[in-house]
Amino acid sequence: MTQSPELLRRLLRAKDRMDGASYEEWPIHRLAQVSAVSVSHFARSFKDAFGVPPHRYLLTRRIERAVALLRDTDLPITEIAFQTGWKSLGTFGRIFRDITGENPGNLRARERSTPHGREHVPECIVRATQRPDLKIAVSEKRRKKAVERIELQSTEVLL
């Protein structure tokens, strides 16, 4: 089902607010208020329009920003965590690792050790190619990794 242009404009308004201030708290009721629709209608419509729930979209933006700060600044990781909206360094590190596959310090070291030649590529293209894949929830990713570990361990026992 296609959404009306008016609803899409309202949803884009909320998405733009998240993009502009991803470090802020964006509970679903606040986003629905920005879009001038009910909470349940907003959540359902946002996922239909953009392919991910609002919370996952916000996580993607926060992680993208954290990666850019790790790559392009000398800010301490703690400062980057707080600037990108995390209240706890531990939570930031755990979710960052779950999404990117490596911890912030390792990502920073790898990014700085490898010449990229990005100056010739538009920033929007670089960001799009490095956007975290959050098609499934972070908790689901953790469960899948745990199952894979258990299967690997049981295979090793059989050998």
Looking at residue 148, what is its pLDDT? 79
Looking at residue 157, what is its pLDDT? 65
Please report, in tens digits, the pLDDT of each residue of the chain (159 residues total): 578 999 999 999 999 999 999 999 999 999 999 999 999 999 999 999 999 999 999 999 999 999 999 999 999 999 999 999 999 999 999 999 998 999 999 999 998 887 666 566 776 776 666 666 666 666 677 777 777 777 777 777 666
DSSP code string of 53-114? -HHHHHHHHHHHHHHHHHHH----HHHHHHHTT-S-HHHHHHHHHHHHSS-HHHHHHHHHHS
Looking at residue 79, what is its pLDDT? 97
Q: Look up residue 117 and give its amino acid.
A: G
Spatial distance between the Cα atoms of 60 and 51, rounded to a whole number of angstroms: 13
Q: Look up residue 157 and give its amino acid.
A: V
Looking at residue 121, what is its pLDDT? 72
In sequence order, the 6+-apart residues with CB closer than 8 A to the CB of 153 are none
Looking at residue 132, what is its pLDDT? 66
Q: How many CB atoms within 10 Å of residue 4?
A: 9
